[in-house]
Structure 1
Amino acid sequence: MAYAVFKTGGKQYRVQVGDVLTVDRIATLAQDREATFDQVLLVEADGTTKIGTPTVSGATVTAKVLDAAARGAKGVAFKFKRRKGFHKKKGFRAALTKIEITAIKG
Structure 2
Amino acid sequence: MLMSILSTNWVFAASRNTTGTGMMHNIPLKFEGCSCALSSKCVSSSRGMLSGCYPLESILQSTLICLSDQTCIDPTKTFKALNSSSSISSRFPLNTTIESIVNELMVEELL
Same fold (TM over 0.5): no
Structure-1-length-normalised TM-score: 0.21
Whose helix proportion is higher, 1 or 2?
2
Whose strand proportion is higher, 1 or 2?
1
Structure-2-length-normalised TM-score: 0.21
Bigger Rg over Cα: 2
